[in-house]
A and B are shown apart, each in its own frame.
Chain A
Amino acid sequence: MSRLIFEERKDQFFETGGDKPFRISCDKQSLAGAVSQRACVFCGSRVVLYPIADALHLIHGPIGCASYTWDIRGALSSGPELHRYSFSTDLGETDVIFGGEGKLTRALDELIPRHHPKAAFVYSTCIVGLIGDDLQAVCNKASERHGIPVIPVMSEGFKGNKRAGYYAACNAMFQLVGTGDTRDIPPMSVNLLGDFNLAGEIWIIREYLERMGITVVANVTGDGRVADLRRAHGAALNLVQCSGSTMELAKMMQETYGTPFLRVSYLGADDMAQALYDVADFFKSQSAMEKAQELVREELAKIYPRLKELRKDLEGKRAALYVGGAFKAFSLIKAFRLLGMKVMLAGSQTGTQEDYEELAAICEPGTVIVDDANPLELMTYLIEKDVDVFVGGVKERPIAYKLGIGFCDHNHERKLALEGFVGMLNFAEEIHATAMSPVWRFTPRRALPELEEAAA
């Protein structure tokens, strides 16, 4: 099996529990030919900005990048749904030869009056830089003509990995921050960074905070609005989830506006409760703390009896997870622990050295940590660690299913809220539904253990 691991990628793995000190190599360009599960800079920017529902998202380039990101994630909105359109300049051969600035100008002049967005984001794709289009100049002029911010997102696909795309998105959003009126924002107020409201999660979190007497100013970016981003600097605190995607914005806001930030996670009962306590702590509010404690008690009481039932079946089962950002992995490991399950493999597309070190620290001995994996590697470890359930995105799903392993979509295609206390229960139900399905009794690999031995 180990022949399936690239020599060049050996230092992007680590198995916990041995004598070796922790060391992992990460944040590198993907190895050519390795079928990385990663996407590109454009993808990073697109996923972060995508849920801003009243902005126009115009992709400047040939059609592919727009086609593949049309309605790609749930990102629910409580109001406008402009983000669910896929706008493109659809560059053709002549545009590539003569430049795309004219077409971009016309496209903005068509789309802005048609949809009346509160702002426009213009995404650069691979070839835009190469054909010499001056995006900034076109956007500035369009902004003057239409009286709304028209912001270039410098997201040429090849200029780094997905993290570079997060950075470009944060830069673009930062141009909006600080331009709105903050006078009516109360002192106990926060922005929610790094949640994308894929299945309504941000509404759950907002409701919890409201119960504690805390006002949410801007959602960054789930169910996001341009006007909220403009006044985000008026909030007293930034709560940063999914550290990779919006940490940069939090840092910029801290530097420029002095807004402090807290890293939080809303996944799993432990981390959700901790997040609420941390917020109450930050505001040094006795009342908020008491309300948080009451909220946690209430919510846990609602889910606990059912969780206990589910745990009976799941106890001792083995899980693997491969997610976009490493921060999500921490919470998932704890959530699995609550279900009595062991995590045997934890990996991410874009984790940093710090992330992985932290990850290794909370994992049990014998857990494989991996950066920027590919299907062959994931397959190798899923078999070696005899995993029962794999948590990942669309690209990981068929790997699990072909191996006769249960699967939980933690990314674009899920329709189930997985955050908050209700999310913990949903997660448990989902894991139970897949792990306990009778189909595994019939799939070839599970049904015929002797075959598996013969193949090894």
Chain B
Amino acid sequence: MKSNLAEKRDYVSSTNACKACMSLGACIAFKGIEGCVPFLHGSQGCATYMRRYLISHFREPVDIASSSLGENDAVFGGGPNLKQGLVNMINKYQAKAVGIATTCLTETIGDNVPAIVREFLKEAKVEGADGKMPALIQASTPSYAATHMEGFHAAVKATVAQLAKPVARHGGVNILPGFVSPADIRYLLEVAKDFGLSATLLPDYSRPLDAPASTSYEILPSGGTPLADIKKMGGAAATLSFGWTPDSQGAGRDLQERCGVCLHSLGLPIGLRRSDAMFEALETVSKRPVPARHADERGRLLDAMVDGHKYLSGQRAVVYGEQDMVIGLASFLAEVGVQPVLCVSGGRSAGFRENIEKVTEGLVREPVMAEAGVDFYRIAELSRELKPDFMVGNSKGYVVARELDIPLVRVGFPIHDRFGGPRLHHLGYRGAQELYDRVVNALIEKKQNDSSVGYGYI
């Protein structure tokens, strides 16, 4: 694309952001720890807004506590409110862990949360689950520093740094998948089990944020990565860590440096080649071949890729969302014959363009335009010029897809305008199969609807 489009946008305002804020990501990650209640140190609104945003996607209760700072607290410091809030919440929720994330407000007034927490641990007489003081995990997540994705990784890294200590080797494997769907998490645990591996997957919100119907409102949803397992992550034989962005590898690197756990940095296993890489890593770690049913799933995926290749050949896609998700999707789309014409993200982590280039190299007919730090105004502007056949991304791109009258294949987060977002599956052969079917069907549906014939076979 050699038009003036490729030039950097020249405006500072954001219109329809393609990102959310750091604290939100931290809350999601903390929901994936056993008995953990996310706790935002800031004004009441942050917690409420994020709860609403998450509930609309997960359709599950998402309790997030807040230190509910008022005007005086902003002047004199939020320490007393944070401590009082912790006492109140721990007593009521009987929490096993508390994930404390900061906000713009408390970072700007300069509250020293680690120091406040140290004081709290000395002074407080509270009883969480089993009469014990819960594990207090703290992450620094001001909205102005980065996106929800970096906030998610900050919380995972903080959890590992603060809870996992060097321990005796136990031969298990750590899986740090990044921000994937509950369906993806369940799949990864199943795959690990099929390889005979004892896996600690962090964070595991597959149950807390996608829970079966139960007889009551669970105050502390069951599930989540067991605290005892997190403490032993330093003794694992290996860590499989997904993602290309530097932050996605933070916790894995920490485990490698502090505890000597061998790190396999894998990128997000979306599509055939990235899934192959994950299965190869699992073969290496488990010293077992790929179990038959997963080999079959790979075979079926390949078979489908052949059956459907003409529906996709040369189709042009705009892909947007979190950086790692976009890189993974670009890799998948390129290998099934789609030309990703534009890959964009609201995040600004390093290496985005290079990784897009790397994963699509040799498979696409024209270079892929990639841009980090964009909003949907920019995405619309570029898409109007590029005239894609379809878009792949979260719900928030619907405005653009609607304007261009093209299908939007919804993936990732947030899914606010469709049902079943948490059950969308992206990873591994099975995830690629689902994605593949959905992409092909979206294009067929468009063709069928636009046709005056009303074809019964397509």
Instruction: Give me the interface of A with B, judged by CB distance under 8 Å.
Output: 3-4, 6, 8, 29-43, 58, 61-70, 85-93, 95-96, 103, 106-107, 110-111, 125-127, 130-131, 157-161, 375-376, 379, 383, 393-395, 397-399, 401-404, 412-413, 443-445, 448, 451-452, 455
Residues A89 and B66 in contact, CB atoms below 8 Å apart: no
- Of the candidates B64, B84, B104, the one having the most CB atoms from chain A within 10 angstroms of its own CB is B104
Residues A160 and B71 in contact, CB atoms below 8 Å apart: yes
Contact of B145 among A30, A93, A412 (CB under 8 A): A93
What are 25 A-B pairs with beta-carbon distances under 8 A?
A32-B85, A33-B39, A33-B86, A35-B47, A35-B63, A39-B45, A40-B44, A40-B46, A65-B45, A66-B14, A68-B53, A85-B15, A89-B13, A90-B375, A96-B104, A107-B12, A131-B108, A158-B43, A376-B92, A395-B51, A395-B52, A398-B61, A402-B213, A402-B217, A444-B214
**Which chain B residues lie closer than 8 Å to A39 at the CB level?**
44-45, 48-49
- The 5 tightest CB contacts between A and B, nearest first, are A40-B45, A64-B21, A32-B85, A33-B85, A33-B88
Residues A126 and B105 in contact, CB atoms below 8 Å apart: yes
Residues A89 and B14 in contact, CB atoms below 8 Å apart: yes
Residues B214 and A29 in contact, CB atoms below 8 Å apart: no
* B103 close to chain A: CB less than 8 A: yes
Residues A40 and B89 in contact, CB atoms below 8 Å apart: no
* B219 close to chain A: CB less than 8 A: yes
Q: Measured between alpha carbons, how far is A89 from B52 in the docked complex, in Å?
A: 23
Residues A130 and B20 in contact, CB atoms below 8 Å apart: no
Residues B82 and A32 in contact, CB atoms below 8 Å apart: yes
- B52 to chain A: closest residue by CB: A394
Q: Measured between alpha carbons, how far is A6 from B93 in the docked complex, in Å?
A: 11
- Of the candidates A107, A111, A395, the one having the most CB atoms from chain B within 10 angstroms of its own CB is A395
Given contacts A4-B92, A39-B49, A86-B16, contact A126 B103 (CB under 8 A): yes
**Which chain B residues lie closer than 8 Å to A90 at the CB level?**
12-14, 17, 375
**Which chain A residues lie closer than 8 Å to B23 at the CB level?**
64
**Which chain A residues lie closer than 8 Å to B451 at the CB level?**
none
Residues B105 and A158 in contact, CB atoms below 8 Å apart: yes
Residues B81 and A32 in contact, CB atoms below 8 Å apart: yes
Residues B49 and A32 in contact, CB atoms below 8 Å apart: no
Residues B42 and A413 in contact, CB atoms below 8 Å apart: no
Q: Measured between alpha carbons, how far is A89 from B375 in the docked complex, in Å?
A: 12
* B128 close to chain A: CB less than 8 A: no
**Which chain B residues lie closer than 8 Å to A452 at the CB level?**
215
The prevalent SS among residues of B at the interface is mixed
**Which chain B residues lie closer than 8 Å to A399 at the CB level?**
61, 217
- B11 to chain A: closest residue by CB: A110
* B60 close to chain A: CB less than 8 A: yes
Residues A402 and B61 in contact, CB atoms below 8 Å apart: yes
Contact of A87 among B15, B39, B70, B87 (CB under 8 A): B15
Contact of B20 among A37, A64, A158, A451 (CB under 8 A): A64
Residues B45 and A33 in contact, CB atoms below 8 Å apart: no
Q: Measured between alpha carbons, how far is A93 from B211 in the docked complex, in Å?
A: 37
Residues A63 and B19 in contact, CB atoms below 8 Å apart: yes
Residues B12 and A34 in contact, CB atoms below 8 Å apart: no
**Which chain A residues lie closer than 8 Å to B50 at the CB level?**
68
Shortest C-beta distance, A452 to chain B (Å), equals 7
- Chain B interface, number of residues (Cβ within 8 angstroms): 73
* B216 close to chain A: CB less than 8 A: yes
Residues B45 and A89 in contact, CB atoms below 8 Å apart: no
Shortest C-beta distance, B124 to chain A (Å), equals 12
Q: Mark B79-112, 1 if CB is under 8 A from A, else 0.
A: 0011011111110110000000001110011000
Q: Measured between alpha carbons, how far is A103 from B11 in the docked complex, in Å?
A: 10
- A111 to chain B: closest residue by CB: B13
**Which chain A residues lie closer than 8 Å to B16 at the CB level?**
70, 85-86
Residues A106 and B13 in contact, CB atoms below 8 Å apart: yes
Interface residues of B in 53-84 (CB under 8 A from A): 53, 55-56, 59-71, 73-74, 81-82, 84
Residues A40 and B48 in contact, CB atoms below 8 Å apart: yes
Residues B12 and A89 in contact, CB atoms below 8 Å apart: yes
Q: Measured between alpha carbons, how far is A253 from B60 in the docked complex, in Å?
A: 43
Shortest C-beta distance, B53 to chain A (Å), equals 5
Contact of B74 among A130, A444, A445 (CB under 8 A): A130
Given contacts A36-B68, A403-B216, contact A64 B24 (CB under 8 A): yes
Contact of A64 among B46, B87, B214 (CB under 8 A): B46
- B98 to chain A: closest residue by CB: A33
Contact of B65 among A34, A111, A125 (CB under 8 A): A34
- B87 to chain A: closest residue by CB: A33
- B22 to chain A: closest residue by CB: A64
Residues B24 and A34 in contact, CB atoms below 8 Å apart: no
**Which chain B residues lie closer than 8 Å to A161 at the CB level?**
44
* B144 close to chain A: CB less than 8 A: yes
Residues A127 and B216 in contact, CB atoms below 8 Å apart: no
**Which chain B residues lie closer than 8 Å to A131 at the CB level?**
108
Shortest C-beta distance, A412 to chain B (Å), equals 8
Q: Measured between alpha carbons, how far is A63 from B145 in the docked complex, in Å?
A: 10
- A34 to chain B: closest residue by CB: B88
* B162 close to chain A: CB less than 8 A: no
**Which chain A residues lie closer than 8 Å to B21 at the CB level?**
62-64, 67
* B315 close to chain A: CB less than 8 A: no
Q: Measured between alpha carbons, how far is A203 from B49 in the docked complex, in Å?
A: 29
Q: Measured between alpha carbons, how far is A258 from B89 in the docked complex, in Å?
A: 48
**Which chain B residues lie closer than 8 Å to A111 at the CB level?**
13, 15
Given contacts A33-B84, A35-B66, contact A63 B14 (CB under 8 A): yes
Shortest C-beta distance, A374 to chain B (Å), equals 8
Given contacts A41-B45, A95-B144, A130-B108, contact A375 B17 (CB under 8 A): no
- Of the candidates B16, B60, B86, the one having the most CB atoms from chain A within 10 angstroms of its own CB is B16
* B396 close to chain A: CB less than 8 A: yes
Q: Measured between alpha carbons, how far is A401 from B67 in the docked complex, in Å?
A: 27
**Which chain A residues lie closer than 8 Å to B271 at the CB level?**
none
Contact of B19 among A29, A34, A67, A130 (CB under 8 A): A67
**Which chain A residues lie closer than 8 Å to B48 at the CB level?**
36-40, 43, 395
Interface residues of B in 346-403 (CB under 8 A from A): 375, 396
**Which chain B residues lie closer than 8 Å to A127 at the CB level?**
104-105, 108, 144
Contact of B71 among A33, A159, A401, A402 (CB under 8 A): A159
Q: Mark B132-172, 1 if CB is under 8 A from A, else 0.
A: 00000000001111010000000000000000000000000
Shortest C-beta distance, B398 to chain A (Å), equals 10
* B283 close to chain A: CB less than 8 A: no
**Which chain B residues lie closer than 8 Å to A85 at the CB level?**
15-16
Residues A63 and B143 in contact, CB atoms below 8 Å apart: yes
**Which chain A residues lie closer than 8 Å to B375 at the CB level?**
90
Shortest C-beta distance, B61 to chain A (Å), equals 4
Q: Measured between alpha carbons, how far is A404 from B93 in the docked complex, in Å?
A: 21
Q: Measured between alpha carbons, how far is A329 from B162 in the docked complex, in Å?
A: 47
* B218 close to chain A: CB less than 8 A: yes
Q: Mark B442-457, 1 if CB is under 8 A from A, else 0.
A: 0000000000000000
Q: A33-B68, A39-B45 are in contact. List 15 more A-B contacts (CB 8 A).
A: A32-B66, A33-B39, A40-B45, A65-B49, A67-B20, A90-B375, A95-B144, A106-B12, A126-B42, A126-B74, A394-B52, A398-B55, A401-B59, A402-B213, A445-B215
Q: Measured between alpha carbons, how far is A70 from B51 in the docked complex, in Å?
A: 15
Shortest C-beta distance, B68 to chain A (Å), equals 5
- B144 to chain A: closest residue by CB: A62
Shortest C-beta distance, B446 to chain A (Å), equals 24
- A372 to chain B: closest residue by CB: B44
Residues B105 and A398 in contact, CB atoms below 8 Å apart: no
Shortest C-beta distance, B10 to chain A (Å), equals 9
Shortest C-beta distance, B222 to chain A (Å), equals 13
Shortest C-beta distance, A166 to chain B (Å), equals 14
- B80 to chain A: closest residue by CB: A32
- Of the candidates A88, A130, A157, the one having the most CB atoms from chain B within 10 angstroms of its own CB is A157
Residues A444 and B43 in contact, CB atoms below 8 Å apart: no
**Which chain B residues lie closer than 8 Å to A68 at the CB level?**
20, 49-50, 52-53
Shortest C-beta distance, B65 to chain A (Å), equals 5
Given contacts A58-B13, A86-B16, contact A36 B44 (CB under 8 A): yes
Q: Measured between alpha carbons, how far is A107 from B145 in the docked complex, in Å?
A: 19
**Which chain A residues lie closer than 8 Å to B47 at the CB level?**
35-36
